[in-house]
């Protein structure tokens, strides 16, 4: 059966069934879940959440009608006036943004996230992801897995923060494809790399020097490889390891890094 379901004046949970349902929110912060079928969902005012499980589901929002989030278990492109996208489930699926400042988060599979226009925040989650910032001042965090990070135009931030102390599995080895010296930033979190400072970033000649430098963050000019050299000048990387590589090995300096808590 195809249903038309409308919310009351307050925040509502709207649940469709097996048919092609129409769900219409109100002025509250509504959650709209069409269920199976090819559903049409419209949240209205408020910060609404949409659950999408069919590529034929349609989500409609008006301008200036809250900050809205789509949680999708299928490939999804954010339509006009939709801000955020979260990929759900375990399938290899992809997400595409719009011209707003989108926040997009992948699942634990291999996702492609393309922010398009706007100042976007892209979080890959698990898996070997491809993150494309596009136009705007974008922030890219690949998460776990060996990710490909493409900032696009303007000043972008490539973030390395697992939310826990460094382990190679938590970060993987990400490839930064288009780092622009003196414009983009590599952002390193002290929650992952410890109490590092800009003075402990070392630019070295090659990978061998990266493992014996006194610097805790070491960048090899020869290869473009970036390491956490946890044990400093002692041989090897200690409990650290390589966590990124920069395509074409641009000549970095400490000014290309940003340390955050």
> Does residue 7 have a pLDDT over 70?
no
Instruction: Quote the pLDDT of residue 17.
Output: 81
Judged against a pLDDT cut of 90, whether residue 9 lies above it is answered with: no
Whether the per-residue pLDDT at 195 is higher than 80: the answer is yes
* CA pair distance 122, 78, nearest whole angstrom: 14
Decide: 160 and 141 in contact? Cβ < 8 Å: yes
Residues 6+ positions from 178 with CB-CB distance below 8 Å? 150, 151, 152, 247
pLDDT of residue 3: 62
Mean pLDDT taken over the chain: 95
pTM: 0.94
Structure confidence at residue 8 (pLDDT): 61
In the chain, pLDDT over 90 holds for what percent of residues? 90
Average pLDDT over residues 24-32: 93
What b/e sequence results for 13-49 when a residue is b if at least 16 CB atoms lie within 10 Å of its CB, and e otherwise?
Answer: ebebeeebbbbbbbbbbbbbbbbebebbbbbbbbbbb
Cα separation values, 186 from 28, 99, 100, 177, 253, Å = 39, 24, 24, 13, 11
pLDDT exceeds cutoff 90 at 199: yes
pLDDT at 5: 66
Residues 192 and 166: beta-carbon distance below 8 Å: yes
Domain boundaries, given as residue ranges, for the chain: 4-189+255-260
Q: What is the number of alpha carbons within 13 Å of residue 54 lying toward its C-beta?
A: 18
CB 60 within 8 A of CB 40: yes
Give the pLDDT band of residue 10 (cuts 50, 70, 90). low
Asked whether the predicted pLDDT for residue 19 surpasses 90, the reply is no
Looking only at Cα atoms, what is the longest distance across the chain? Answer: 70
Measured distance CA(258)–CA(186) in Å, rounded: 6
pLDDT digit string, tens, across residues 47-78: 999 999 999 999 999 999 999 999 999 999 99
Indicate whether 2 pLDDT > 80: no
For the stretch 118-145, pLDDT in tens is 999 999 999 999 999 999 999 999 999 9
């Amino acid at each position: 059966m195809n249903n038309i379901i409308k919310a009351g004046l307050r925040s509502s949970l709207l649940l469709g069934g097996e048919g092609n349902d129409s769900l219409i929110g109100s002025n509250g912060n509504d959650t709209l879940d069409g269920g199976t079928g090819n559903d049409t969902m419209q949240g209205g005012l408020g910060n609404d959440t949409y659950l999408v499980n069919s590529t034929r589901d349609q989500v409609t929002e008006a301008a200036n009608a809250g900050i809205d989030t789509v949680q999708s278990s299928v490939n999804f492109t954010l339509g006009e006036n939709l801000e955020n996208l979260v990929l759900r489930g375990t399938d290899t699926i992809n997400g595409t943004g719009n011209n707003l400042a989108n926040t997009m988060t992948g699942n634990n599979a291999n996702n492609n996230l393309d922010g398009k226009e706007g100042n976007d925040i892209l979080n890959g989650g698990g898996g070997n992801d491809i993150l494309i910032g596009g136009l705007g001042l974008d922030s890219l965090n690949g998460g776990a897995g060996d990710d490909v990070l493409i900032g696009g135009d303007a000043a972008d931030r490539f973030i390395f923060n697992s939310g826990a102390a460094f382990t190679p599995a938590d970060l993987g080895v990400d490839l930064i494809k288009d780092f622009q010296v003196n414009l983009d930033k590599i952002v390193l979190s002290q929650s992952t790399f410890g109490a590092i400072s800009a003075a402990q970033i070392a630019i070295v000649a090659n990978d061998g020097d990266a493992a014996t430098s006194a610097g805790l963050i070491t960048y090899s000019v020869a290869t473009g490889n970036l390491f956490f050299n946890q044990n400093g000048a002692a041989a090897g990387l200690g409990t650290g390891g390589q966590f990124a590589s920069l395509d074409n090995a641009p000549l970095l300096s400490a000014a290309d890094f940003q340390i955050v808590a």
